[in-house]
Structure 1
Amino acid sequence: MAFISMIALTASAGRYDFFGDELYFLSAGRRLDYTYADQGVVVALFAHIADALAPGSVTAVRFPAVVMGVGAIVVAALIAYELRASRRVQLLAAGTYATSYLLVTQCALSTFSFDATFTAVITWLFIRWVRTRQDRLIIAAGLVAALDMQVKWMIPLVWACLGIAVILCGPREILRRPALWIATGILALSLVPILYWQSQHNWPQLAMGTIIGAEQDATGYGPPGFFPQWLGLAGFLGTLLIMVGFYAVIRQEALRPYRFIAVALLLMTAFVVITHGRPYYPTGFFPAMFAFGAVGLWRYPRKRWMNLAILPVVVLTVVTFVGTLTLLPLPSTWRSQTQDAIDLGIRSAFWGTTNWSALVEAVDTGYNTLTPEEKTHAVIITQGYWQAGAVEEFGGKYNLPATYSPSRGFGFFGAPPDSATTAIFVGLDTAELDLRARFDEVERIVRVDDPMGIPGIDRMVAVWKVRGPKQPWSVLWDSMTTLYFDLGLWRDPRFTTRPTH
């Protein structure tokens, strides 16, 4: 199952062009640091390795994510094995993950790609501890959590939810084990360099909560739209097994010692819903729930009609998964115009983010309007971090100068040098008033506005030549940096937040 999935996912990994965040990870990888404003170093490191081995290859960049996704399939089977399930049940648990939309989503390079699998490994280690009482498994879970902390900073929440769940429903014996507190100490120590970096840069991660919540609501994925997407990631069969899994850990004696995993999933989901987080945050618990559901379903005294009723769910799951791998992205002629953030989410899912070349060509057109003297003191500045990543990734053939952006993590890579007197600025076509407040001269050179394009890439975009910053860049940058990523589609007052560093 894992081998087949590896081949299928690797073969289809390049069907979408780079997503905006993947371009950012490539840029972060060119500026390796021990941590960043909104993530750890692991994803940037793998992006850097892939870029060094196969420059420009979408498949190479996504291969580490594919490996993580396949790893989660294996973990689902391992958890079923720990529950003393037969090979058929292990195959059912693994196959459910392998045919879920969760796996497809996980195979684009992202912090989620790693975080989901590491969380699944932690749940497997705790489940194995319940069966064997080998304390080294708890230490191993702490080490995995510390590694996950270098990916995404959700793992302390996972750890806390597991702890609260154990207090609520056991096995409370684990709380008396020194290994648990050693593992917790390992996780706590892994936070120290990250907390230090955050304290030196005005705690940008704390401000991201409001921004993410506003983005979720704008795209329709906040409450009540959270749960349809949450279950959609699990797929038809996965949703069935999650429901059966909750039932099984309550009613089946053999699974009751593991009900703390199900409770932890509920606790984390409640937290994410309340804080308007992203629906995929709790999905690291899904491999365990798929295993619980598979075991519970197999042990339940089913009638013949129940078995027949499950078959259409299995068929629909497999057909949907195969269709996702083979039919997406859809033909470009089927696209519709993006009017709001919900439309953008649909466009990204069915067509991806495309036409980066039009954006970079417009930047090159603007740069070529500069005189030779202006070029010696020029930089490229982009309004959004996606745009900055695109210019760096695809702009090599144009011999463009260094790229900077005040957007999210890119803004923390540093300001242009004070010697830069001219900049080519690319951003939304509404940016002119803001530019005139910061520069002595502002001239619009190019407008990119394909009605069927994507805002921020090839729609609602303009390129300006700006000269004479009114303050030194080292000062001006602090007023420009923002965690708010403007695609011209948001209509929420929470986006007015402008945290600086």
Structure 2
Amino acid sequence: MLDSIFGPIERDVLATTASGAKATSHRALSALPALPVLATAGTVVTLALALSWRHGYYLDELYFRVAGKHLAWGYLDQPPLIPFLAKAQIALFGDTVAAIRVVPAIIGGLVVVLGALIARELGGGRRAQIVAAGATAASMLTISISHILHTFTVDLVVWQGICWCAIRLLRTRDTRLWLAIGAIVGAGLLNKLLLVLLVGVLAASLLLTGPREVLRSRHLAYGIGIAAVLAAPVLIWQTAHGWPQFDMASSMAGRDAVRIAFVPTLLLLLVGPVVCPLWIAGFVGLLRAPRWRAYRCFGAAFAIMVVLLLLLGAQARYTSGLLTVLLAAGSVTAADWAATATRRALTWLGVAANAALGIVVMLPVLPIGFYAQYAGFPLFGEGQVGQAGWPRLAEQVAAVHRTLPQQDAAHAVILTRTYSQAGAIDRYGPEYGLPGVYSGHNSYADFGVPGEDKTVVITFGMPAAQLASLFERCEPRGPLTADLPLLDRGQEIAVCHQPRESWSRLWPKIRWLGDF
């Protein structure tokens, strides 16, 4: 079916020589080994779904769940796709943590299939495609995105899909593929505007390394038009609201700690330490191998991307879409190397070891107490503990609410510092009869403002100095207690009375933009 859409696989492979002349290779692509590739993808999907209910919502998922109740063409920190997916999954499967993780599991499977297809486009035979599927499935990237609903989850498959189509375009020189690329870019911009970074570095790399003739096509213009039409609602919303995405990006960039962690994260955490040599081999091969001269732009794009992210102080995970291409290319190299039974065994032992490590690190297979011992480790203990403790927060806020006199309770609302805290109260608060919850964090501030009759406020996580400037008096009611080292543990619950101004005047002082 894929070949009926994108052209016959027997199309000659065109390569541009140093003199600019075209040489033709008559080698047809190997058939996709559908059974082992789909079985590998199915394993990823099944494992993700089987564990989707454990530990609880990740902090951003609580935000997306509420954002889905307030659908818009844009939010201060993201386009509309993820809130829409959260709302759709809840409508289809119920209001549970497992329900909103169905799409991520399916995307994890798609990433595996695309890994094999990229290896195939690069000339990999049956063995190379199976290795690519296995290595992609074993990648910590794939394992992590299959478990959590996040913009990063959709980003990975979008970037990978664009790269697959671009590689196919460079192989076949069928410029009609610009239409498919434009459609994917347009849809991807409904998820994250960071996609323009990939488009920019790929365009720069094509101009730098060639083949430049694929840029001289009316289909490229049509593809740009398709992308613009699909992304128009988001771009219009951003323009109307003063492009808050730039403010959000600047609040998260330029951190020295991120720069220091960039290389270790790239080498050890994104794909995984055991299969790391595969993507490095793919990077070197795409830059140097004569058979991949036509695809040299992907090696160059990765190098440019790394330099840009380091200069900006941005996270290493933004290389992920290109890393999956390098991993697929490295799988082709590994399959060529594994000509003996011993080498094949070593290759698959490495893939299996990386998969085992990734499953333990990225999926909630062990008791939460185990991960809590390593709560300071990013993506490991920190990521797992970030999925725990939300019912406990609602329970303790409810205990404070029950102490309010009846008259105060009738005029009470809950105000939290972060959107995850507000999202937790929104999800679990109704079980305890809690009143409405509000937060000034990012677009949660646009989901509602307390009514002017709400003069009693149960707050959580807000600095005492800020509360003193907002309310006539506040009474601390104790910190959040928990057995686990939760992100919010120790933050104070307080009861405040009498806002100093109307809520409409106070709200701009409560709003804030940024992550945690």
TM-score (norm. length: structure 2)? 0.85
Shift of 1:308: 7.2
Say if 1:268 and 1:282, in contact at 8 Å, map to a contact too: yes
Structure 2 Cα separation of the partners of residues 18 and 188 of structure 1 = 34
1:334 offset after TM fit, Å? 6.7
Q: How does 1:219-258 map to 2 (within 5 A)?
A: 220=257, 222-231=258-267, 232-258=269-295
Q: Would you say 1:381 and 2:381 are equivalent positions?
A: no
The 2-side partners of 1:352 and 1:388 are apart by 15
Change (3 A) 1:444 1:325: closer
Is it true that 1:2 corresponds to 2:41 in the alignment? yes
Contact 2:138 2:351 in 1 (8 A): no
Alignment deviations for residues 43-75 of structure 1 (CA, whole Å, 9 cap, x no partner): 111111222233342222111111111111111
1:210 match: 250
2:175 maps to 1:135:
yes
Mapping of 1:381-460 within 5 angstroms? 381-428=415-462, 431-450=463-482, 452-456=484-488, 459-460=489-490
Match of 1:52, SS? helix
Say whether 1:125 aligns with 2:159: no
Q: C-alpha distance in 1, partners of 2:196/2:455? A: 45
Task: Find the partner of 2:108 among 69, 72, 93.
Answer: 69
**Contact 1:212–1:278 (CA under 8 A) maintained in structure 2:** no
Partner of 1:368: 402
Out of 417-426 and 446-455, give the one that drifted further. 446-455
SS of the residue 1:225 aligns to? helix
Matched, 1:480 2:514: no
Q: Quote the Cα distance in structure 2 between the aligned partners of 1:337 and 1:432.
A: 30
Residue identity in the other structure for 2:297: F
CA distance in structure 2 between the partners assigned to 1:206 and 1:467 by the alignment = 36
Aligned residues: 475
Structure 1 residues 120, 25: CA separation in 2 closer, same or farther (over 3 Å shift)? Answer: same
Task: Kindly provide the amino acid, as one letter, of the partner of residue 466 in structure 1.
Answer: C
Other structure's SS at 2:70 match? coil
C-alpha distance in structure 2 between counterparts of 1:328 and 1:301, whole Å:
32
The residue that corresponds to 2:156 in the other structure is: 116
C-alpha distance in 2 between matches for 1:287 and 1:333: 30
Alignment-derived partner of residue 167 in structure 1: 207
Q: Which sits farther off after the overlay, 382-391 or 2-11? A: 2-11
* Contact kept in structure 2, 1:75 and 1:287, CA below 8 Å: no
Q: Secondary structure at the match of 2:461?
A: strand
Cα distance in 1 for residues equivalent to 2:400 and 2:487: 19
Picking from 307, 316, 320, the partner of 1:283 is 320
- Structure 1 distance, partners of 2:195, 2:412, is 42
Percentage of identical aligned residues: 28
User: Matched residues in 1 for 2:363 and 2:61: separation?
Assistant: 22
C-alpha separation in 1, matches of 2:199 and 2:295: 16
Q: What amino acid does structure 2 have at the position aligned with 1:286?
A: L
Q: Which residue of 1 aligns with 2:24?
A: none
1:313 aligns with 2:368: no
The answer on 1:348 being equivalent to 2:378 is no
Q: State the 1:98 CA deviation.
A: 0.2
Matched letter for residue 62 of structure 1 = R
What is the distance in 1 between the residues matched to 2:231 and 2:363? 41
- Structure 1 residues 326 and 207, CA gap change in structure 2 (3 angstroms): closer
Is contact 2:41–2:108 with CA below 8 Å preserved after alignment? no
Partner deviation per Cα, 1:301-331 (whole Å, 9 max, x = no partner): 9799866764653343243245447774445
Cα distance in 1, alignment partners of residues 201 and 226 from structure 2: 17
CA offsets 1:339-398 (integer angstroms, 9 cap, x no match): xxx457653235443121221012212322333333343322111111001001111212
**Number of the residue aligned with 2:13:** none
The answer to whether the 8 A contact 2:64-2:86 is kept is yes
SS in 1 for 2:270: helix
- The residue type equivalent to 2:351 in the other structure is V
Distance 1:26 1:208 in 2: 20
In structure 1, distance between residues paired with 2:45 and 2:345: 30
Change (3 A) 1:199 1:83: closer
Residue 224 (structure 2) pairs with residue 184 (structure 1): yes
Residues 198 and 323 of structure 1: CA distance in aligned 2, closer, same or farther (over 3 Å): closer
Cα distance, 1:187 vs structure 2: 2.8
User: Per the alignment, in what secondary structure is the counterpart of residue 324 of structure 2?
Assistant: helix
In the aligned structure 1, how far is the partner of 2:266 from the partner of 2:416? 33
Instruction: Return 412-421 or 142-151, whichever deviates more.
Output: 412-421
* Two-structure CA RMSD over aligned residues (Å): 2.6
- In structure 2, the CA distance between the partners of 1:254 and 1:212, relative to structure 1 (3 Å rule), is same
Question: Do 1:255 and 1:292's aligned partners in 2 also have CA atoms closer than 8 Å?
Answer: no
String of CA shifts for 1:225-275, please: whole Å, max 9, x gaps: 112212321123542121111222233322110111222122222222221
2:57 corresponds to 1:18: yes
Q: 2:362·2:380 contact (CA, 8 Å) conserved in 1?
A: no
Q: Judging changes above 3 Å, is the alpha-carbon distance between structure 1 residues 226 and 329 closer, same or farther for their aligned structure 2 residues?
A: farther
What is the deviation of 1:195? 3.8
SS of match in other structure, 2:494: strand
Contact (CA 8 Å) 2:145, 2:152: kept in 1 or not? Answer: yes
Q: Unaligned regions of 5+ residues in structure 1, if any?
A: 487-501
The normalised TM-score by structure 1 is: 0.87
> Residue type matched to 1:440 in 2?
E
Contact kept, 8 Å, 2:54 with 2:364, in 1: the verdict is no
Partners of 1:71 and 1:301 in 2: CA distance: 26
**Residue deviations 1:454-482 (CA, integer Å, cap 9, x gap):** 132xx122222222212221221111111
Aligned equivalents of 1:371, 1:211: Cα separation in 2 = 41
| CA positional deviation for 1:156 | 1.0
C-alpha spacing 1:201/1:438, structure 2 compared with 1 (3 Å): farther
Change (3 A) 1:349 1:373: closer
Map of 1:46 onto structure 2:
85
SS state of the match for residue 47, structure 2?
helix
How far apart are the structure 2 equivalents of 1:301 and 1:3? 25
What amino acid is the match of 2:261?
G
> What residue number does 2:195 align with?
155
Residues of 1 paired with 2:231 and 2:509: CA distance?
A: 29
Task: Answer with 36-45 or 320-329: which moved more.
Answer: 320-329
Q: Within the alignment, does 1:297 sit opposite 2:334 as a pair?
A: yes
Tell me, in whole angstroms, the C-alpha distance in 1 between the residues paired with 2:107 and 2:209: 31
What is the CA–CA distance in structure 2 between the aligned matches of 1:2 and 1:337, rounded to whole Å? 30
Gaps of 5+ in 2: 1-39
1:79 to 108, 111, 118: 118
Moved more, 123-132 or 191-200: 191-200
